[in-house]
Amino acid sequence: MNITKTLDAKGFACPMPIVRTKKAMDSIESGEVLEVLVTDKGALNDFTAWSAASGHTILEQKEEVGVLYFYIQKA
């Protein structure tokens, strides 16, 4: 997987990870991949719902040492 951009949103609570992700997505091209790092556990539901509503695809999500990683492909 080729990651185009990484967004570090660790330490932010809802809704800031989504707000920052939307801004970062606006800066990349269709088909490119954004890596997002968050620590807010609510992001699991937030990112799933936001991606579905915006048409983007979560290619992968994982958790390592309390950090959630999302790999989102822009629609």
Catalytic residue positions, numbered: 14
What's the CA angle centered on 59, arms 47 and 66, to 5 degrees? 55
8 Å CB contact between 73 and 33: yes
